[in-house]
Structure 1
Amino acid sequence: MTEPRRGRPRTPLLSRDSIVAATLQVIDADGVGAVGMRSVARALGVDAKSLYNHVDGKDGLLDAVAEQLLGGLVLPAATGDPRRDLHAIAGSFRTAALAHPQAAPLVLTRQLASLEGLAPVDAVLSVLLGAGASPEGAVHLLRMLLATLIGTLLREVSAAPAFGSDDGVRRAALEASGLPAVATTAAHLAEFDRGAEFEYTVDLAITAVLDRINLQR
């Protein structure tokens, strides 16, 4: 019986999808800062130089991940109710951000000129224009909404697992701070409900946006 032929293991077939998957693997394990051509190549078991046939360096890796995550963002169908539609879009962003918390900064802050990057922007602008905002006003309001959304989601995904829970120690410390306003609100400062905070913040921002549009009509 002929023994199997031995030799160097076959290099796995590379594709943009496999490279994105490996990059996400690195991000999930060690964060965005760990991403590089070498770290992704190690995850794939290939030479780093071979990646350049599919992506243009580290920025290309990060753009590819952001595009894939944004491409998976399910944008809700418009209902014609601006408040409901903006809430639904914000919820879609949150779902995408929480799917890969370590990659959330890419989803939320990476500026992309691709269809994946512009589709969510177009969705928000369409709602704002439909609500009566001027083109210039819609852009200002879009940026305000995105800044608010990015801020609250980055806080959520970057917080420690125990953030928001309290065994009474934090509340006691706040009450004993000697600061009147802090002591009065200690019970609420000591607790943090991530979902409730997100809804409150988004609703407040949307209310401000729609009020501004109504004032400018």
Structure 2
Amino acid sequence: MTEPRRGRPRTPLLSRESIVAATLQVIDVEGVGAVGMRSVARALGVDAKSLYNHVDGKDGLLDAVAEQLLGGLVLPEPTGDARRDLHAIADAFRSRALTHPAAAPLVLTRQLSSLEGLAPVDAVLAVLLAAGASAQESVHLLRMLLATLIGTLLREVSAAPAFGGDERARREALQASGLSAVVRTAPYIAEFDRAAEFEYTVDLAITAVLDRIERQRSGPRSS
């Protein structure tokens, strides 16, 4: 019987996909701040230098993760109902961003030059143009919607309830603050329903956008 050859263990086959998967593993366990060529190389069991054949340093790792997460975004088919379509795009974006909550800030804040970053932009612009907004106005409205969506999602993945603890403890702390407006609204400030906050914020933003489009289509009213 032939004995197996002895020698150095084989180096795992590297690819951009395997590197992204290892980077996500590091992020899920230790957070974005732990990402680096060495930490990802350790997760893969390879020398850090070998990663440079596939990514350009730490920024390359973070961009690759953001691109993969955005690339997995499944955009809904348009229905022709602007409110429903904008809400569906926002829901799809949220669902994808929260696939890896610790990595969500990468999807939400990194400036990507790849087509992955343009797909949701194109989907929103198409809805706005179909609703009657001009090209220039569509871009302004897009930026407002993105700022609102990104802001509420960043708060969802990063923020903690005021004063911590359970809802009852938060409410009691707020009511004892001595600040009249805070005391009056304490039961509601103490609530911390991420999904409900997202729904409220997105619905309000979409309502503002559609109202503005309708006013501009109607033109100035005669006195």
- TM-score, shorter chain, exceeding 0.5: yes
Aligned residue for 1:159? 159
Aligned residue for 2:67? 67
Secondary structure of residue in 1 paired with 2:146? helix
Secondary structure of residue in 1 paired with 2:188? helix
Aligned residue for 2:205? 205
RMSD: 1.8
Structure 1 residue 162: deviation in Å? 10
Structure 1 residue 160: deviation in Å? 4.4
Q: C-alpha separation between the residues in 1 aligned to 2:131 and 2:208?
A: 13
Q: C-alpha separation between the residues in 2 aligned to 1:140 and 1:165?
A: 40
Structure 1 residue 113: deviation in Å? 2.2
Q: Does 1:118 align with 2:102?
A: no
1:84-125 Cα deviation digits (max 9, x unpaired): 001000001110111101100111112222121111110011
Q: C-alpha separation between the residues in 2 aligned to 1:163 and 1:96?
A: 29
Q: Does 1:6 align with 2:6?
A: yes
Q: C-alpha separation between the residues in 2 aligned to 1:142 and 1:12?
A: 44
Q: C-alpha separation between the residues in 1 aligned to 2:73 and 2:124?
A: 14
Gaps of 5+ in 1: none
Gaps of 5+ in 2: 218-223
1:166/1:115 Cα in 2 relative to 1: closer, same or farther (>3 Å)?
A: same
Aligned residues: 217
Secondary structure of residue in 1 paired with 2:177? coil
TM-score by length of 1: 0.94
Q: Is the 8 A contact 1:163 1:192 kept in 2?
A: no
Structure 1 residue 4: deviation in Å? 2.4
1:21/1:89 Cα in 2 relative to 1: closer, same or farther (>3 Å)?
A: same
Aligned residue for 2:175? 175
Q: C-alpha separation between the residues in 2 aligned to 1:48 and 1:166?
A: 44
Which amino acid in structure 2 is aligned with residue 198 of structure 1? F
Secondary structure of residue in 2 paired with 1:12? coil
Aligned residue for 2:51? 51
Q: Is the 8 A contact 1:165 1:190 kept in 2?
A: no
Aligned residue for 1:150? 150
Identity rate of aligned residues, in percent?
Answer: 84
Q: C-alpha separation between the residues in 2 aligned to 1:124 and 1:163?
A: 37
Correspondence list, 1:8-157, <5 A:
8-157=8-157
TM-score by length of 2: 0.92
Q: C-alpha separation between the residues in 1 aligned to 2:95 and 2:104?
A: 10
